[in-house]
A and B are shown apart, each in its own frame.
Chain A
Amino acid sequence: MGLAVVLALLVVPEDADQGVSQRIFYIHVPIALTAYFCFGLGAWKALRLLWTREEHFDLESYVAVHQGTIFGALTLLTGSIWAKASWNVWWTWSSRQLVLFLVLFLFYCAYFMLRYSIEEGARRARSSAVYALFGVVLIPISFLAIRLAQDFVHPVVFNISGPQMSASMFATFCVSWAAVTLLAYVLYRVELLGKRVDADLRELRETLERPRPSVPRLDEQMPTGVGS
């Protein structure tokens, strides 16, 4: 994991100078892409849950959505900083990606509220799964909506331009993207593992704390002459 982070940082010096603030692109966009991917993964796991009814998909879907939300928040933060650097405003409604992420962020925060409000069990798993599916469908629809809205909400003055990338910039971008993806993957596995262990331990504790059914111990049946 440390390697992934170091890689992401080393990428920066490599980049050709096209206006310093453009360097934020290398971390902002991979994070955004990773967030989309996490939401997609969450929805896929959710679909599998609804198909097969196997419990473990619920946890996997939840962790994926959790990751996606964190990366989504990071996208908003880095995007905001980029906006401040480029156009001197902390927020702008003109940036389609930022607005989309805001809507998605709100949507997935509501996901957690939903989960907290339902008792643990099949009901919660299924409702969360359906909601996660809605989220993924919402992504393109929201994007369209935002695009339509810009026609009358704001003249499209600014644009985070997808730069015409030279070969070295593209390579840098790919390295950065790989690094962020790797980071996300590692975090996903670690968190999933932690949650599974937590659940298993809880079950173990419940089993151990239950009073044992009385089974006569073997040595009580032995003739009393021994060891008394």
Chain B
Amino acid sequence: MTAYVADVAALAHKDLKVELRTRDTLPAMLLFVVATLVVFHFALPADAGDDAAYGLLWIAIVFTALVGLARAWVPEHEHGVLEGLVLAPCDRSAIWLGKTIAALAFLAAAQVVALPAFALFFAPLDAPALLGVVLADLGICAVGSLLAAMAAATRSREVLLPLLLLPLAMPLVVGGVGSAIAPEPGRYLLFLALYDAVFAVLSWASFEYVVTE
């Protein structure tokens, strides 16, 4: 058990370390999300309510996550890192978990900037909304890591990952927006937790099959 945890920690640590040194993913995500928010301001008509703004926030989050996930996986494939990891004597699902944690860290870091920016530009974010963001982040990173691994091995990987992720992200958007605007956010938060539980387990269990030959 502890060996597994150690593997996961090592993998996540590696990704974060690499990012600290090369700094090519996080700044891109930060810039992307803030620029998107600004564009959204112009996309919204003047009298649109706060509710519409929350919807746009979630679109921004999903697409920022896509950027982060793609950047996390493409170099792995191009430099054969993934093959190397698969050959290593660790449980394959540890790769998934490590990657998910790293992706989560990136997304959270981007959101540390994005959420205050959103609150500044558009509408305030209360506790249920933030909790919704956290829960949905988990879901996006869990499913996204698996799908990104799938897509990384294909020819059309840049296009494929959004295609694969968006239908699966739809429930997350519902949950996230709901927890922001509904008078009783409890149901939506519970739903997000359900999604996370189900899909995290599914992704964890099936990652092995996606990566091995």
Contact = CB atoms under 8 A, between A and B. Distances in A.
A152 B182 contact: yes
A77 to B, nearest CB: 19
B167 A110 contact: yes
Given A127-B210, A138-B167, A114 B202 contact: no
Given A114-B150, A122-B213, A151-B182, A145 B191 contact: yes
Interface in B166-203: 166-168, 170-171, 174-175, 177-178, 181-182, 187-188, 191, 194-195, 198-199, 202
Contacts of A123: 153, 213
B178 A117 contact: no
B170 A103 contact: yes
B199 A137 contact: yes
A131 B146 CA distance: 10
**Size band of the A side of the interface?**
20 to 34
B174 A146 contact: yes
A134 interface: yes
A142 B15 CA distance: 32
Given A117-B156, A126-B210, A130-B150, A148 B167 contact: no
A50 interface: yes
Nearest to B184: A151
A160 B6 CA distance: 53
A24 to B, nearest CB: 26
4 closest Cβ pairs, A-B complex: A117-B154, A145-B171, A107-B167, A145-B174
8 contacts: A107-B167, A110-B164, A122-B213, A142-B170, A144-B191, A148-B174, A148-B191, A152-B182
